Amino acid sequence: DVPEASNSSVTFARLGRSFRALRMLRLFRLLRVGKLAFAFTVLLDSFTSEFTLMLLKVSRLVVFIVVLNHYIACGFCAIAFLVVDEEDSWIEQPTIGKSNLNLYICAFHWSVTQFTPATQNIGPMNLYERCFATGVVVVALVTFSTFLGKMTSAMTQLLNLNAARALKEHKLRKFFHDYNITPPLRRQIWM
């Protein structure tokens, strides 16, 4: 029995080292995120239209929230799969299909509803899922508040840009009127 016990402990030690090596490799994935952020900054620098810049910034926020919701949905599924044999879990509800795609879509829907004032018929059913859901709600509160603040700021900037252009157009119309500029010449100036 002793050789078998030492053999199994060596196997577990190797397995533990393998998992550590895999985690280290996953850290290199974060470098891709940094490269992506740099590429997006270069893309933003290539545009001159303020409207396009605001649209891209808002799009970046939406993509960030969708990606964050993807990871949260994967985490919610992972917790359910880990505890499903020991405790009740949300994946055992009769309204949820058993295919992996259906489970992911339900988890993604649950994740999105944590960020918005929406409803969902899925909820945590054990301590692990409830702890995860509580953490998600806190992250969602901060993320959604930041998102709304940045959206409001972007819309205000766009309104200010449009107001400045409208003021210039008003001054030009007044000039046309004050100096009796003919309609054909006005059309040529507007073009």
Q: Which residues contact 102 (CB under 8 A, 6 or more apart)?
A: 96
Tokens of 162: 């449009």
The pLDDT tens digits of the residues spanning 12-38 come to 555 556 566 666 666 566 566 667 777
If DSSP codes are grouped into helix, strand and coil, which group holds residue 116? Answer: coil
If DSSP codes are grouped into helix, strand and coil, which group holds residue 41? Answer: helix
What percent helix, strand, coil does the chain show, rounded to 5? 80, 0, 20
User: What whole-number distance in Å separates Cα of residue 125 and Cα of residue 177?
Assistant: 72
The pLDDT tens digits of the residues spanning 93-138 come to 877 877 889 999 999 999 999 988 888 888 899 899 999 999 999 9
User: What whole-number distance in Å separates Cα of residue 115 and Cα of residue 145?
Assistant: 9
Answering whether pTM is above 0.75, one says no
Q: Which residues contact 96 (CB under 8 A, 6 or more apart)?
A: 90, 102, 103, 106, 122
